[in-house]
Amino acid sequence: MRVDYFLGLDVGTTGVKALLFNDRGKCLGTHYRDYSLLTPFPYWVEQSGEEIWEAVKFVLKESTKFLEAKDRVMIGLSTQGGTLFVLDEGNRPLRRAITWMDGRGREVAALLERDFGKRFLYDLTGYGIVNALPLATLLWLREYEAETFRRIARVAFVNDFITFRLTGVWCCDPSNAGISMLCDIRRCDWSDLLLDYLGLRREQLSPIRNSGSFVGMVLPSVCQEVGLPESFVFTGGHDQFCAAFAVGATREGVVHLSGGTAWAGVVPIGSLWRDPQFQVAIERHVVPDRFGALFSIPCGGAALKWFQEKVARADLNTSSLEDYAQIDKAVEELPAGSGGLFFFPYLVPVVLGNPTTAPGGFLGVQLFHHKYHFYRAVMEGIGYEVLRQVEYLLGQGVPIHCVRLSGGVAKSKVWTQIIAEILAIQGISLERVKIVDAPALGAAELAYLGWQALCGGRDIFDGGTVFPLELEVVEKEGEHFSVYVQGYNRYKRLLENLSER
């Protein structure tokens, strides 16, 4: 008997994860392979396309070992957004990929400001001037690596680069096209104005097709190499929007908050909303004709890890670190408010969202504070920053009544409770999502919907989640409410004073 399987590939910033599901949404296995971030010069962050491709082949091979030749696999892709590949006429990389974390675009930001301005670019693309995204990095290549730029035959991103390697077909989805800053967000098409400015042609980029669209069959040579049976590939999306799709953040009012090394929020909006400060990015959702606002806290989990590794560790020359479970237990025993200690999580600047010029760090240190006060202050400070970003959107008329939390932070009982109690200041509930990897799940669900549409079955995007979704409402401690109301108000006052310096 032939069996259909659905595989979500999450090709992220530091590794690729594959999740295999049956047609009832049961996860049958997960495999992971990491790859390198290369930093040859200050502010440069690059990757090897070949290393990423080898990692993709590895997880595909591991994920499908037990499948039979008569089975079928439907593959969807969730990918890091904004990482740039430039290829020659043989579709070979001309240089290493320039990632979305790269900072060299700051050298050409003044040109973009002079020639277009932040407001114009925001209205056209949904982003202001963001130094790390492909519009800026392509301009940098034109100015500083002219010979490489001259040889460009194809501009690609992680999603269409891997899709092409799998199928031999070039195809890009709307959310990944959007974060390139080369796409007219209203028309969902490449901007001829921006391409002309760079000296590129639209034929050098992939055609844009809706998420969940059938792209093509996996090439026989790839199937043979990794042991895949007959396999079909469908367009996926930018990882943040695949994750939002997986947790049901597709309608207004329900926000997905991803809490990993960096934290990011996807806020679904029904129509094309415009941020008056041009800071909250807007992309097309993986659901057709819907949009999403993006805000980020770049040092979310990274701030806690920084304190754990660089400050709280007794001996920096040893690899021994305190267990997160032990940290949680000690933090839970402390009263809310961290004894008046505040943490401002701006160890790197806020790029997307309500901006601030305040520096990062602690305020209110007293002699009785010990390291667990600092740990709790980090957790509360990031919770305050989440509410600050949410409040900004509420003030612009964006409806928000529920936040769904996934990622590593969802494993921490004390941190999720802190966030829930802080969000309660605005009457917003917090739900913990019990998902192994939300982006990969969202990609698998898009493949499932695409397959159903291809077979003439279920209408694609007919509402609701595709596979079963397990949610847990995070309970709040009532006695903490007044502490966090006072704490948050003081946090905002201190932040205002810091920003004025």
Average pLDDT on 215-232 reads 97
Average pLDDT on 270-290 reads 90
Beta bridge partners of 5: 73
The pLDDT of residue 463: 60
CB distance 431 to 257 below 8 Å = no
The pLDDT of residue 434: 87
Average pLDDT on 440-462 reads 85
- Rounded to whole angstroms, the Cα distance separating 209 from 232 reads 16
Which residue from 402, 442, 399 is spatially nearest to 175, judged by alpha carbons? 442
Which residue from 198, 287, 193 is spatially nearest to 235, judged by alpha carbons? 287
CB distance 222 to 230 below 8 Å = no
Count CB atoms within 10 A of the CB of residue 42: 7
The pLDDT of residue 414: 95
CB distance 299 to 348 below 8 Å = yes
DSSP secondary structure code for residue 387 in this structure: H
- Rounded to whole angstroms, the Cα distance separating 27 from 83 reads 29
Backbone dihedral region for residue 338 (phi beyond 0: left; psi -120 to 50: alpha; all else: beta): left
pLDDT in tens, 351-404: 788 888 899 999 999 999 999 999 999 999 999 999 999 999 999 999 999 999
Lowest-confidence segment of 158-162, 281-285, 299-303 by average pLDDT: 299-303
Average pLDDT on 116-121 reads 96
When pLDDT is cut at 50, 70 and 90, the band that residue 270 belongs to is confident
Lowest-confidence segment of 54-68, 306-320, 327-341, 454-468 by average pLDDT: 454-468
The pLDDT of residue 104: 93
Average pLDDT on 343-350 reads 88
When pLDDT is cut at 50, 70 and 90, the band that residue 501 belongs to is low
**Helices 324-332 and 371-395: angle between axes, nearest 10 degrees:** 80
The CA-atom distances, in angstroms, between 478 and each of 112, 336, 386 are 50, 11, 20
Cβ neighbours of residue 105 closer than 8 Å, sequence gap 6 or more = 130, 131, 132, 133, 136, 137, 139, 140
The pLDDT of residue 461: 65
pLDDT in tens, 42-92: 889 999 999 999 999 999 999 988 899 999 999 999 999 999 999 999 999
**DSSP labels, 207-234:** PB--TT-EEEEPPHHHHHHHT--EEEEE
- Rounded to whole angstroms, the Cα distance separating 192 from 171 reads 18
When pLDDT is cut at 50, 70 and 90, the band that residue 460 belongs to is low
- Rounded to whole angstroms, the Cα distance separating 56 from 199 reads 32
The pLDDT of residue 379: 97
Q: How many CA atoms lie within 13 A of 358 on its CB side?
A: 21
CB distance 283 to 292 below 8 Å = yes
Beta bridge partners of 172: 208
462: pLDDT strictly greater than 70: no
Q: What is the mean pLDDT of the chain?
A: 93
302-336 burial, b at 16+ Cβ within 10 Å, e below that, comes to: bbbbebbeeebeeeeeeeeeeeeeebbebbeebeb
Domains of the chain (ranges, CATH numbers): 4-240 (3.30.420.40), 248-434+470-501 (3.30.420.40)
334: pLDDT strictly greater than 80: yes
3-class state of residue 18 by DSSP: strand
- Rounded to whole angstroms, the Cα distance separating 64 from 115 reads 50
Tokens of 264: 């990011």
Count CB atoms within 10 A of the CB of residue 473: 11
Rg of the chain, C-alpha, whole Å: 23
The pLDDT of residue 365: 97
Average pLDDT on 159-184 reads 98
The pLDDT of residue 476: 85
426: pLDDT strictly greater than 70: yes
- Rounded to whole angstroms, the Cα distance separating 382 from 384 reads 5
